[in-house]
Structure 1
């Protein structure tokens, strides 16, 4: 930060990095010395003034994001709003959800902190928008009962909907959509609170770099069956839950679309392969096997990135409906059978293009 020079130096008052404003003892240069000493008024005037806001990201069991319609603009918003004077951001988040949706809750976990620059579009000049620091909190996954408990106020909030993540750019202001998708990726990754600038991560993860969730997930809302596929049902695809030694599984991401796919069962040399079951949908059966990967050949198709992710992350990047939970339980049973550990939720990591051996 550029600091003005005060040659009349007030003892004990210094710029950040020298001494905290308000200290009474002389600084390192001594009373009356020239340097970057500042009066309290000058120091206060030099600090940036920003608004502060707080919003809450809520999903349903299918991974769709709760957005609300309001009576003062056409685009959708996350629940939330301005932080009042003297109020903490987390308290503001809880208050706004209570006022806007009639739902009580606490939201201590931050997903993202976004710096929105002065001059960002969408703010009328008369508002003299100075820029904003906006906190995004994790509202969790709401059950149908919790969703049914929503009670809208008599004005301002006119409705809610749960939107597919890829639809957010069409429903929201561009900056709001970027921020929401970045926060959602941070939640799935389990990376802690992401730092954003105008909705963009300052340290993008693999999910950010690959633009995961920017296109609609393919819905496969069928029923899960642990046994073989009945002869009357056509097999639409065969995919594998292929485990690395740390209990994570191989996941393919289409670079052109950001779509997530399980790999084919023969994506690499394996051990302990066994049928896992199948999901029946309206267009046929989707067969699943499970195995332990012993290595990977060099990447054969540059159109796909190869990631390691937890089974839960694969589930959250897919639109499998209630059948996904039963499949996930079968996956963990197979992992236990293969004597592999339960993986920690860490950000999915991209594998190199060359061969991998474990």
Structure 2
């Protein structure tokens, strides 16, 4: 067999097989693997290791003749004592030789790193973690926004890109030095890079007791395909539902608050709403109302007078919205109420799919994306 003067050229008579093999070996990269694992609140599992100052996702080098997915499963067994299949890819990252401050003696040639989805772990599986005698000092689940503080810059970029790819559900992301070559709206907005507001309060599917003061009204506003309107703040990437705090002009009417806030934040209008219930902090005399309603119209995006920002408007399944919010287990009852109201409104349940950024204006009835 004859070979080529460069790895991607067509074979010629200039090189022997041995020479071609040497050439290809000179262009070889390392191969690595890691696994993204979250808990019920969307916090990411990171490992504190004894051989470097920064944290890592579970994972490591792929052994000779080992498939990356097999390497990821092996690393979970060795590092966490957990045996489980690893069969869903989130990202493939090309890490350039010049992207790391690697010492010259390491002769780092670059790396192809595969990121797999380890899923959401419940308390039982977390309790089953068994660390080895060396290498892994401890593990913890951290807010995505903390990853840049705990990991090296490239590792943090890769982990956040993989997490956004998991939420977006468009298939594995192709990365270069941790950044997607085809950024989604979550990547462009920098979703999950700032701390998420904590709303881990019990949800009650009953009207608000008279002694409680309503301090917030938010709406699950459904498009015709069963997805809901989610807003991203353009400067922080924070995700939220349309809604806000009552003002004097609302005259104590929570629906007036929701309609005003939906117009101001999202230029959105909605049909007849259904009360889902309220969140309540047992230590405070406050209530946070939640409604569901069908979207009827979106006008051109406008500047929110309360914040001076123009929000990015998305359609997401309710489950994807909760992954962005990070509300965790306390949101399970609210999610049940959301789907009950959706069915009552005659709206189908949405299949999981990539997030859709909404256009400037639509009546929300004939548009595929709304």
| TM-score normalised by the chain length of structure 1 | 0.88
Report the counterpart of residue 44 of structure 1 in structure 2: 21
My pick for the range that moved more, 107-116 or 283-292, is 283-292
Give the counterpart of 1:209 among 185, 188, 212.
Answer: 188
- Is structure 2 residue 299 aligned with structure 1 residue 297? yes
Partner residue of 1:137? 116
Between stretches 138-147 and 347-356, larger displacement belongs to 347-356
Residues 311 and 40 from structure 1, CA distance in 2 versus in 1: closer, same or farther, beyond 3 angstroms? same
Q: Does 1:80 align with 2:82?
A: no
Q: Any conservation in 1 of the 2:301–2:310 contact (CA below 8 Å)?
A: no
> Structure 1 residues 192-201 or 340-349, which shifts more?
340-349
Alpha-carbon contact 1:15-1:37 (below 8 Å) kept: no
Displacement, 1:119?
Answer: 1.9
Question: Hey, what does 1:31 align to over in structure 2?
Answer: none
Instruction: Kindly tell me the number of residue pairs found equivalent between the two proteins.
Output: 335
Question: 1: distance between equivalents of 2:8 and 2:103?
Answer: 37
CA distance in structure 2 between the aligned counterparts of 1:80 and 1:18, rounded to whole angstroms: 34
The Cα offsets for residues 209-260 of structure 1, whole Å up to 9 and x where unpaired, read as: 1100010000111101011111222222101000001111101100011000
- 1:274 — aligned with what? 274
Q: Aligned to 1:236, which of 200, 215, 218?
A: 215
Q: Which segments of structure 1 move beyond 6 Å, counting only runs of 4 or more?
A: 10-19
Corresponding residue to 1:287 among 281, 285, 289: 289
Secondary structure in structure 2 of the residue aligned to 1:99 = helix
Can you give the 5+ residue segments of structure 2 that lack an aligned partner in the other structure?
244-257, 263-267, 304-308, 366-370
1:26 alignment partner in structure 2: none
Higher helix residue share: 2
Instruction: After TM superposition, give the deviation of residue 120 of structure 1 in Å.
Output: 2.0
User: CA separation in 2, counterparts of 1:142 and 1:343?
Assistant: 24
Do the aligned residues in 2 keep the contact of 1:205 with 1:347 (CA within 8 Å)?
A: no
Q: Would you say the 8 A contact 1:14–1:36 is kept in 2?
A: no
Output the TM-score relative to the length of structure 2.
Answer: 0.86
Q: Equivalences for 1:53-202 in 2 at 5 Å? A: 53-202=32-181
**Rg larger in 1 or in 2?**
1
Displacement of 1:183: 0.3
Mean Cα displacement is larger for which, 208-217 or 292-301? 292-301
Give the drift of 1:205.
0.6
- The separation in 2 between residues aligned to 1:337 and 1:239, in whole angstroms, is 19
Residues 36, 249 of structure 1: alpha-carbon distance in 2 compared, 3 angstrom cutoff: farther
Q: Residues of 2 paired with 1:344 and 1:330: CA distance? A: 18
Distance 2:130 2:101 in 1: 28
More divergent stretch after superposition (301-310 vs 110-119)? 301-310
> What is the CA distance between 1:37 and its match in structure 2?
6.8
1:106-157 deviation digits (Å, cap 9, x = unpaired): 1110000000000222422211110000000000011101111111111110
In 1, Cα distance between equivalents of 2:237 and 2:30 = 34
Q: CA 1:49 to 1:238, structure 2 compared with 1: closer, same or farther past 3 Å? A: same
Alpha carbons 1:15, 1:38 under 8 Å: kept: no
Q: CA RMSD in A?
A: 2.0
SS, match of residue 294 in structure 1: strand
Query: Are 2:2 and 2:15, in contact at CA under 8 Å, matched by a contact in 1?
Result: no
